[in-house]
Amino acid sequence: MPRLALYALTVCALAVAAAVVSFVQGNWVGVVWVLLAGLSSNMAWYYLRRAKAQRDASRAATG
């Protein structure tokens, strides 16, 4: 798994945890954490798809 995808997944997990804590405390700042979790999730998917496409392209070029 690409390093940037791991970083993005880590940020996503931490943002979800922060959102839960914020909402439990009755703080509406949790909405920002939910948005950050969505953004980092999309970044993780992007980096995973990009790595897969690069891997497939290198296999097609050599094989």
Per the listing, tokens 């296999």 go with: 59
Its domain, for residue 55, covers: 3-62
pLDDT above 80 for 63? no
Nearest to 33 by CA among 47, 17, 44, 45: 17
> What was the pLDDT predicted at 35?
98
The pLDDT tens digits of the residues spanning 4-52 come to 999 999 999 999 999 999 999 999 999 999 999 999 999 999 999 999 9
Q: How many CB atoms lie within 10 A of CB 9?
A: 18
pLDDT range class, residue 1, cuts 50, 70, 90 = confident
Domain count along the chain? 1
* pLDDT at residue 49 in the model: 97
What is the predicted pLDDT for the residue at 47?
A: 97
pTM passes above 0.85: yes
